[in-house]
């Protein structure tokens, strides 16, 4: 099933932005701030490490997912499946959801997939073009940076802001930790909070990434790398959006969930704009128009949706057919 979410009083043309089109195609439309935001997508969606046995292929085996595409016109870049929330005010200050861990196969051992919630800049300047996000990630044995280790983990990530609001920081900061159980729900949240000592910003505010109401841990190998993005978006960004999506680094990878093992669920969704009022003008849906094997369903308006892989063979290849 494919569902479009349209802002109240809006139209599909004016309010619905397709999230899942291939990344480079989106870059060609950088004049639109909503589309420009998508080019920054880093890690987005959580993916289950399949149980291993002598008779079971590893989770990065191409037999379990589509063939990795090398044709830039057929999905060789990131694809995403989910929702973007445009704020009625200038900034989104909080986004949260309960998300479950579901399986997803990878098309090669250098791939990764993720699913998460995040707050993203709506600007296009390289030093103000950032995000903070938290959720799950599934890495192959040799994942592409900034991901580092094989397996399924919780992760947080931020990038592209002003480090301590004095220098441009164009480095992606990531932590991967823990062992999320298959099928289990965890609450993930990105929120602008006041904590002068931890944030180190002029205003005392910064974006903080939480799992199950607790600030996510700092990196084991560098206790100075923590889940406080060291900039206040109100001081360095033009505006922001909330995003709740799954992300695959190649169209040959699965989104989490399937018609066989159940969908990946985003539920108990909370989003606050700059006036701290729940804002329900959702703008986006899924990649189904281009990649028919990625599914999206709005189960409960504004507060619950599901994503999944509906054809595990990934056929036809992404981009081969359109309506």
- Residue 20 in this model has a pLDDT that exceeds 70: no
- Residue 303 in this model has a pLDDT that exceeds 60: yes
- Residue 16 in this model has a pLDDT that exceeds 50: no
Neighbour count for residue 323 (Cβ, 10 Å): 6
User: Which carries the bigger pLDDT value, residue 125 or residue 92?
Assistant: 92
- CA–CA separation, 169 vs 154, rounded Å? 24
- Residue 162 in this model has a pLDDT that exceeds 80: no
Query: Mean pLDDT score of the chain, rounded to an integer?
Result: 74
What's the mean pLDDT in 140-152? Answer: 91
User: Which carries the bigger pLDDT value, residue 58 or residue 282?
Assistant: 282
Looking up tokens 């969908």 gives 263
Q: What is the pLDDT of residue 5?
A: 32
Q: What is the pLDDT of residue 316?
A: 60
Neighbour count for residue 127 (Cβ, 10 Å): 15
Q: What is the pLDDT of residue 72?
A: 53
pLDDT band, very low/low/confident/very high, at 188 (cuts 50, 70, 90): very high
- Residue 43 in this model has a pLDDT that exceeds 60: no
- Residue 208 in this model has a pLDDT that exceeds 90: yes
What's the mean pLDDT in 139-157? Answer: 93
- Residue 8 in this model has a pLDDT that exceeds 50: no
Summarised one tens digit per residue, pLDDT across range 55-104 is 344 443 334 566 787 655 455 567 788 888 877 667 899 999 999 999 99
Q: What is the pLDDT of residue 211?
A: 98
Q: What is the pLDDT of residue 248?
A: 85
The total number of residues written for the chain in this structure: 323
Q: What is the pLDDT of residue 48?
A: 28
């Amino acid at each position: 099933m494919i569902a479009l979410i349209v802002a109240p009083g809006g139209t599909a043309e004016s309010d619905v932005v397709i999230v899942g089109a291939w990344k480079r195609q989106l870059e060609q439309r950088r004049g639109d701030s909503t589309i420009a935001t998508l080019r920054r997508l880093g890690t987005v969606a959580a993916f289950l490490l399949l149980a291993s046995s002598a008779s079971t292929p590893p989770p990065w085996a191409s037999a379990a997912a589509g063939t990795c595409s090398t044709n830039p016109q057929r999905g060789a870049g990131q694809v995403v499946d989910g929702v973007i929330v445009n704020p009625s005010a200038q900034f989104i200050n909080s986004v949260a959801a309960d998300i479950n861990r579901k399986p997803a196969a990878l098309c090669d051992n250098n791939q990764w997939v993720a699913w998460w919630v995040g707050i993203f800049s709506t600007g296009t300047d390289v030093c103000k073009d950032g995000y903070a996000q938290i959720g799950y990630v599934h890495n192959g044995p040799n994942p592409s940076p900034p991901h580092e280790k094989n397996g399924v983990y919780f992760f947080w990530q931020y990038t592209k802001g002003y480090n301590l609001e004095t220098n441009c920081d164009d480095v992606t900061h990531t932590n991967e930790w823990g062992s999320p159980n298959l099928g289990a729900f965890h609450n993930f949240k990105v929120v602008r909070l006041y904590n002068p000592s931890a944030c180190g910003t002029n205003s005392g505010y910064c974006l903080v990434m939480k799992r199950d109401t607790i600030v996510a841990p700092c990196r084991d190998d560098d206790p100075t790398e923590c889940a406080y993005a060291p900039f206040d978006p109100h001081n360095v960004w033009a505006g922001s959006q909330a995003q709740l999506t799954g992300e695959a680094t190649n169209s040959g990878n699965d989104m989490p969930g399937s018609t066989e093992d159940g969908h990946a669920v985003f539920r108990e969704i909370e989003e606050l704009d700059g006036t701290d009022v729940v804002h329900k003008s959702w703008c986006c849906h899924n990649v189904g128009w281009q990649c028919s094997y990625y599914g999206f369903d709005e189960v409960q308006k504004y507060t619950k949706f599901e994503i999944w892989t509906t054809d595990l063979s990934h056929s036809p290849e992404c981009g081969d057919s359109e309506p």
